[in-house]
């Protein structure tokens, strides 16, 4: 099942997406928080992690490829992990640098929030970033996320230490920003 936004589509991961995922995982600008330095992910590693799993469905996580609708180009991915039934999940989003500032990552996260809050009834969504990633912090704030945990000197980025930030948005905060959604199960963007 694909989820459609105004300019993007979220779809299932396919074999052809593995090189993009490996490239994004190896890009220090998109993965500054990574503990694997230097990153050395390969397509084969991504295949084992996402494609050749013993079970194709993990009920506590999901990954979607973000596709730009006009070109059908895969531009990144968005995921949720650590789903605790009807309570919380942790989000992640990575897009290729040429799409930074386009607003497409915000659309992707908003679609996943719709699914989590409206369809799955979750209470809170969380994400991790770092204080030096001004673009990610700003995008998260646009979606209603607020810093909830700060880990001092936990991320080394561009030659300096930064705070690791957990940011979260509560169900009622998301609905306050999307008032038409509270009693409506249909996606407003489709």
- pLDDT band of 79, cuts 50, 70, 90: very high
Handedness of CA 22, 28, 31, 37 (dihedral sign): positive
pLDDT, tens only, 88-146:
999 999 999 999 999 999 999 999 999 999 989 999 999 999 898 899 999 999 999 99
Rounded to whole angstroms, the Cα distance separating 29 from 47 reads: 23
* Residues 6+ positions from 173 with CB-CB distance below 8 Å: 144
Q: How far is CA 154 from CA 87, 107, 130, 131, 161, in A?
A: 27, 29, 9, 10, 7
Residue 32 has pLDDT above 70, yes or no: no
Instruction: Report the CATH number of the 3-181 domain.
Output: 3.40.630.30
- Residue keyed to tokens 């673009």: 135
Q: How far is CA 84 from CA 94, 124, 174, in A?
A: 23, 10, 18
- pLDDT band of 38, cuts 50, 70, 90: low
């Amino acid at each position: 099942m694909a989820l459609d936004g105004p300019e993007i589509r979220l779809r299932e991961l396919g074999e052809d997406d593995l090189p993009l995922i490996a490239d994004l995982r190896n890009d220090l600008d998109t993965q500054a928080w990574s503990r694997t330095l230097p990153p050395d992910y390969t397509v084969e590693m991504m295949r084992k992690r996402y494609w050749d799993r013993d079970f194709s469905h993990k009920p506590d996580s999901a990954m979607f490829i973000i596709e730009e609708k006009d070109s059908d180009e895969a531009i990144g991915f968005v995921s949720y992990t650590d789903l605790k039934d009807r309570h919380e999940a942790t989000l992640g989003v990575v897009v290729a640098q040429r799409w930074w500032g386009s607003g497409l990552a915000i659309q992707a996260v908003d679609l996943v929030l719709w699914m989590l809050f409206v369809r799955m009834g979750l209470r809170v969504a969380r994400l991790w970033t770092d204080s030096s990633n001004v673009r990610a912090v700003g995008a998260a704030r646009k979606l209603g996320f607020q810093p909830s945990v700060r880990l001092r000197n936990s991320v080394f980025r561009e030659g300096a230490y930064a705070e690791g930030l957990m940011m979260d948005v509560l169900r009622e905060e998301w609905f306050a920003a999307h008032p038409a959604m509270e009693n409506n199960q249909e996606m407003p963007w489709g």
